[in-house]
Amino acid sequence: MTEQPPSIKDPKPAPLKTCQARRRTEQKVEYAHSMLQHLKESPSRATNDDWDNTVMEAFFYHLAGACEYLLHEINVEHTLGLSAGEVKWSTVKID
């Protein structure tokens, strides 16, 4: 078996473009807002309703996703040079 070149063996995903990251951040915030509105308007807010619990989980999922894409925006705007796979809370540092 022949060894693959490093570019194929260890692919490094390119950073997201600013417009891609910003749009995903906005989408995730919109989704989270929609879930929050549903929870506010739910008559079963004080109960342990399965559907409301699912919506609450979706709210936090989209909120966390918005934070993740915000990190991608910071990476691009501050030219940190991190690949898409390297963007994490622990790696995005602004001096």
Please write the tens of the pLDDT for every residue from 27-47. 999 999 999 998 888 876 666
Residue 23 belongs to some domain of the structure = yes
Residue 11 belongs to some domain of the structure = no
Considering the chain, what is the average pLDDT of its residues?
83
Residue 92 belongs to some domain of the structure = no
Q: What is the DSSP string of 4-43?
A: PPHHHHS--PPPPPHHHHHHHHHHHHHHHHHHHHHHHH-T
Residue 66 belongs to some domain of the structure = yes
Ranges of residues in the chain whose predicted pLDDT is under 70: 1-13, 44-47
- In our burial notation (b when 16+ CB lie closer than 10 A, e otherwise), range 57-90 reads ebbeebbebbebbbbbbbbbeeebebeeeebeee
Helices 50-77, 18-41: crossing angle, 10 deg rounding:
160
